[in-house]
Chains A and B, each alone.
Chain A
């Protein structure tokens, strides 16, 4: 299985690299890969924050002075403060390059500066996001190769595609296929189609890779777990043996009585010396480990298949089946997805097939992408419907827990007996009560007197 997984891993790498390269090429043609953009973006964010803090500090300072003096500070105080701040704070890039003696002037300056900065930030945000998505996509892709989890594959795929979505949102002329070719061959070899196919292939191959990994992994994990468990068990037993040997040698006792007896002698001694519940519980745990070791040893020696069954070695699927079904499954999916997508994305073909009236065929809506929904929704819903119909023929219903007739009878019998017993007990109790009530007070025997003496009743 490992070979199959490695082959699929290489194919996945190839598909991702090609997909990423295509996206890079498309965006590169639009000149968005300005390598200084991320740095500019981060610096701009910090500048914007600095400006806001500067503005707030002016306002707060003026407010405090106004509350103390009872009037807005004059030009001298504000000028002094701002000069001090400007000396300490590098604000030249914001064009705040001189002391602002008037608060209102500071406001006006701030509004101008912040708008400029915000516009610049908006421009650089997109470029920054392209880089961010690319970085995240590559990181998730690398994670997917190591961790073999679907979420990383999906994350890498979406991250790379988001670059194009953002580009489209920004209004850039990213890859498109307008108008959609009517000819199937032309359709296949369109650059947008190739990118879509490569992207889909990346998903398909990566999911197949995870399947091939996960289908063999549980068996490998079981084997590994079993090895660890047996090793831990062996170590624990050896440790106990070592402790016992140490105790025996230190106490000078004979070895002839056997290890089992020694453990119990030790137990007895410890019970006397320690005599606590914890100590006894520890001894129980030690005893359990030893018994488990004996159980496992006996099992492995008496049954040659025991180890294979514990590891479920025989359950490992053959590589041949996995390869053949991978190729077959992927091919079917590819062809059907390609054909169906062509039909859905190209409504003209269906229009011709349906022989609709010229009024509909020539309508402007047919050239809009939304027309796809008209065919997509019913077609997509058709598949789950067909699957449901098939499932109703094939018994996939969840079973209900039902008792066999014998079990039902036994349960009935048990309840009947319990009822009878309860009835008998109730009758006996009533009779006893009756007998007690019938007794006169003076007839109380020694027991009753004892009760009376003890409880004073």
Chain B
């Protein structure tokens, strides 16, 4: 293949050649011949040496599963397994467009000797959850004068799973450290007597009671052995229903309703695990994409993260199928938190809620309100502004009706925007614990 530079030489040669012919000048003709011959004479030699199939690319990464926003070191080794040297080799290692090159360069250009290799590395900042691939690698071999080249794409791909961002959890943890938020086991108080920290009262000693529980002071006063009793602390079971229908993908990139819902689900799962509550996650649209049952296993968080990482906004919301599936999988009473934008027709939603309540579960809806995730109205022109406001009002009215219908059965709907999405989920979780919803 002749490069652009090669074509310039060719045209220069033709110019001189034709000038020589026109002006009957052998010098110009000779120079034209020189250029044209000089361009092609090494072509067979280059074709012999440029055994591009002898190039192998190996890519190594520091980890295959990372959180969105984390940094990843990529090492690329280009090996020349042939017996020829390559005068000039360019190597471009491609990475997903949404990621950011933080340190180094994903490109190298050098000379490579036979049976030797060159290694370079770069650091990427991983952005946006999902399944991504590093690669392919583009290899371009040039002759030393840059007149000819061969190109090859090495389809050596490295798969990376990007979990949703962990920054919310980091923030919460750090603020929690400062404020000493209640991270204790079972923050919820019950009226059931048992193991706990809050004092409930005294009773008479019975054989088998622990000596540690004897209250010596009151025993001395009463003249008989008295036992201290405490309120039992219990945990709750929560299932987070993440709607991944197409409408949830609306909003600014990285700040869509779905992204916030996923961040909220991650935060909720983390908080639940910290407090030894059972938190499950169901990712659904017109079908249930994944369901991670409530658990406290050490790897539970990663299962949830994996399920959420793969969520893509598409299709429509089939609330009934989703809740039927979850109910069939969940034996205990649960507190079901729906993270949905309620932009489907209300009847299926109400039917789903009916099924849910009929099976003894509690529920609430945290609903991102579409217009709050879109561009601010101030950025629109006058016509767009009026239209946006009209659409917004209609959506709000519809939402109010749904909220009224659900409120009759004790299911609250909380409308949220990007700013209060995460605080709302924290608040609702704390409230549910305090109220003792869905204890097990």
Contacts and interface: CB of A to CB of B under 8 A. Distances in A.
B150 interface: yes
Interface residues of A, number: 113
A177 B23 contact: no
Q: Which 7 pairs of residues, A with B, have the shortest CB-CB distance?
A: A395-B53, A168-B23, A315-B118, A312-B120, A264-B174, A317-B111, A383-B40
B158 interface: no
Contact of A261 (B123, B125, B174): B174
Interface string B21-39: 1111111111101111110
A295 B38 contact: no
Contacts of B36: 376, 380
A329 interface: yes
B103 A292 contact: yes
Nearest to B154: A399
Given A292-B102, A428-B324, A447-B409, A421 B118 contact: no
Interface of A: 150-151, 154, 157-158, 161, 164-165, 168-169, 174-178, 180, 192-193, 195-196, 199-200, 203-204, 207-208, 210-211, 214-215, 217-219, 222, 225-226, 229-230, 233, 257, 260-261, 263-265, 267-268, 275, 277, 284, 287-288, 291-292, 295-296, 299, 306, 309-310, 312, 314-317, 321-322, 325-326, 329, 332-333, 336-337, 340-341, 344-345, 369-370, 372, 376, 379-380, 383-384, 386-388, 390-391, 394-396, 398-402, 421-422, 424-425, 428-429, 432, 445-447, 450-451, 454-455
B16 A165 contact: yes
A177 B144 CA distance: 32
A175 B8 contact: no
B418 A277 contact: yes
Nearest to A169: B23
22 contacts: A154-B12, A165-B19, A168-B19, A168-B23, A215-B87, A222-B105, A222-B108, A277-B418, A299-B123, A309-B75, A310-B104, A315-B110, A321-B113, A344-B33, A369-B20, A376-B17, A394-B52, A398-B151, A422-B287, A428-B321, A450-B405, A455-B405
A401 B136 contact: yes
Nearest to B25: A168
B344 to A, nearest CB: 13
Contact of B27 (A192, A263, A315): A192
A383 B27 contact: no
B51 A394 contact: yes
B436 to A, nearest CB: 25
Interface in B253-308: 286-288
Contact of A178 (B26, B122, B136, B405): B26
Contacts of A428: 320-321, 324
B87 A211 contact: yes
Nearest to B407: A450
Secondary structure class of chain A's binding surface, majority of residues? helix
A225 B34 contact: no
A196 B34 contact: yes
Contacts of B69: 288
A450 B123 CA distance: 57
A3 B144 CA distance: 18
B404 A315 contact: no
Nearest to B136: A401
Contact of A295 (B71, B136, B175, B287): B71
Interface in B61-93: 69-71, 73, 75, 85, 87-88
B34 A200 contact: yes
Contacts of B118: 312, 314-315
B50 interface: yes
